[in-house]
């Protein structure tokens, strides 16, 4: 009797398992067209996003002057197209899924994703603000922390800088957004202060006039604003001038003009017989053994002490 009951229970259990498998297989077969349709939509979304991106590029180049806003339009179009495509694919793949349920799920998921990927979200939002506000533009030369160079790109996560040494630096957008940024090419001109020391016997008014005329003739020095010559210090071995002149702001231009300015100033001072003095140092030479209190005195010195 017990064996009969056990066999009956096993038979019912197997029938239940078999029915469940049939239902799962049937549901899967019913959902196959939807799943295939969803995959096809995702596949088409990839190409449609690329097409939309190209259209956004052309529209941005035509309607927007700012390269940063063009990049923002490009990225927003690409991400937005993918978001719509994924949402449509979910609706097709799961017909019983309500759009309100999807939106609610996305809302809850966005909170969870925000906590899990705080740095990514923070850099993404900072990148959007940088592109919209444009504290600097693509191609500007900047100094951010210990890095200086030319801004080549602002992506969703990082700002790319090419240093003057030819190195690529990727800085998180959140760091760029919160740190102080020196934009060297923000204005049409940039000032350089060049120190020059002359001998104390030099007629200062004459030296100032020579420096002023010389710097104005240097190629690359702008006439507006005008160069300025200032006396700034009584040095140890010289009276110090500062030649202040303006050039175009690019680092390459600043370096080349400074080289030409140094050559021209040295030549002009030599022709006027004005010396640029070397630093002066006074050296004292003495016999250390003679003045060392810890060395024993010679016998001759001891005899003189008794006399």
Q: What is the pLDDT of residues 81-115, one digit of tens each?
A: 877 887 777 777 666 665 565 555 555 555 555 55
pLDDT of residue 186: 92
- pLDDT mean over 62-82: 73
Q: Report, as an integer, the average pLDDT of 38-66.
A: 78
Q: Say how far apart CA 155 and CA 235 lie, in whole Å.
A: 50
Domain boundaries, the chain: 30-116, 136-183, 187-307
pLDDT in tens, 242-293: 999 999 999 999 999 999 999 999 999 999 999 988 876 667 666 666 656 5
pLDDT of residue 307: 45
| pTM, full prediction | 0.62
Residue whose pair of structure tokens reads 């700012």 in the numeric block: 66
CATH of domain 30-116: 1.10.287
Would the pLDDT of 149 be above 60? Answer: yes
| CATH topology assigned to domain 136-183 | SH3 type barrels. (2.30.30)
Q: Has residue 165 got a pLDDT over 80?
A: yes
| Burial (CB count within 10 angstroms: exposed 0-12, middle 13-18, buried 19+), residue 173 | buried
Q: How far is CA 231 from CA 111, 192, 211, in A?
A: 62, 16, 12
Please state which CATH class domain 187-307 belongs to: alpha beta
d(CA 22, CA 16): 10
């Amino acid at each position: 009797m017990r064996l009969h009951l056990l066999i009956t229970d096993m038979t019912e259990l197997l029938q239940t398992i078999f029915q469940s498998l049939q239902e799962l297989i049937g549901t899967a077969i019913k959902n196959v067209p939807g799943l295939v349709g969803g995959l096809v939509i995702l596949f088409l979304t990839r190409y449609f996003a690329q097409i939309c991106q190209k259209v956004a590029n052309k529209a941005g180049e035509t309607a927007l002057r700012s390269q940063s806003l063009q990049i923002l339009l490009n990225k927003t179009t690409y991400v937005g197209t993918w978001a719509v495509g994924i949402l449509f694919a979910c609706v097709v793949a799961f017909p019983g899924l309500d759009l309100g349920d999807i939106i609610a799920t996305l809302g809850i998921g966005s909170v969870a994703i925000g906590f899990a990927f705080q740095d990514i979200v923070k850099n993404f939002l900072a990148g959007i603000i940088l592109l919209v506000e444009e504290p600097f533009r693509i191609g500007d030369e900047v100094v951010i922390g210990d890095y200086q160079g030319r801004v080549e790109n602002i992506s969703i996560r990082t700002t790319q800088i090419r240093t003057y040494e030819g190195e690529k630096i990727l800085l998180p957008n959140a760091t760029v957004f919160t740190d102080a940024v020196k934009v060297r090419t923000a204005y049409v001109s940039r000032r350089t202060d060049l120190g020059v020391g002359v001998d104390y016997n030099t007629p200062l008014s004459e030296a100032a006039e020579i420096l002023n005329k010389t710097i104005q003739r240097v190629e690359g020095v702008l006439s507006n604003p005008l160069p300025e010559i200032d006396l700034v210090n009584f040095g140890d071995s010289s009276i110090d001038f500062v030649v202040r002149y303006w050039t175009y702001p690019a680092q390459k231009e600043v370096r080349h003009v400074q080289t030409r300015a140094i050559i021209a100033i040295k030549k002009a001072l030599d022709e006027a017989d004005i010396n640029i003095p070397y630093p002066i140092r006074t050296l004292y030479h003495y016999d250390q053994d003679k003045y060392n209190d810890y060395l024993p005195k010679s016998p001759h010195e001891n005899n003189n002490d008794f006399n």
